[in-house]
Amino acid sequence: QVQLVESGGGLVQAGGSLKLSCAASGSIFRLNDMGWYRQAPGKQRELVASMTRGSSTNYADSVKGRFTISRDNAKNTVYLQMNSLKPEDTAVYYCNEDQLRGGVRRDYWGQGTQVTVST
């Protein structure tokens, strides 16, 4: 079955950087669209960045110019490089796999990794 395992979260000071990784298994990774979402306490889960199987990217306005999503199909891994972090970036970050096979779309989620940005 599909498994998504995030890593790389932690505590960082404002202005610092972190790089999240999401290792995927159980599907043909190169055929999937991948994304990073986040959820802060009391708020809805929101899209941070996504990358299609064709490597087109999309970013939330709040992270444009600071965050970069990338993928390594040979390693079945998607990354999120986060620079110039702000306290408002504090959230649990989730990896998402969006499969489209034969007209059927399925979503899969990792367990999440906590990112905390201190002032």
Joined together, the tokens standing for residue 30 give 């190169």
Cα–chain-centroid distance for residue 15? 19
Of all residues in the chain, what percent carry a pLDDT higher than 90? Answer: 97
The pair phi, psi for residue 60, each rounded to 5°, is: -65, 145
* pLDDT at residue 102, as a whole number: 87
Question: Residue 109 burial (CB < 10 Å; 0-12/13-18/19+)?
Answer: middle
**Selected residue with higher pLDDT from 60 and 100:** 60
Nearest alpha carbon to residue 7 among 18, 17, 21, 19: 21
Strand partners, 23: 5, 77
* C-beta separation of 63 from 93 below 8 A: no
Per-residue pLDDT reduced to its tens digit, 61-119? 999 999 999 999 999 999 999 999 999 999 999 999 999 888 999 999 999 999 999 99
Per-residue pLDDT reduced to its tens digit, 6-55? 999 999 999 999 999 999 999 999 999 999 999 999 999 999 999 999 99
Q: Which amino acid is at 24?
A: A
| pLDDT value at 59 more than 90 | yes
* pLDDT at residue 77, as a whole number: 98
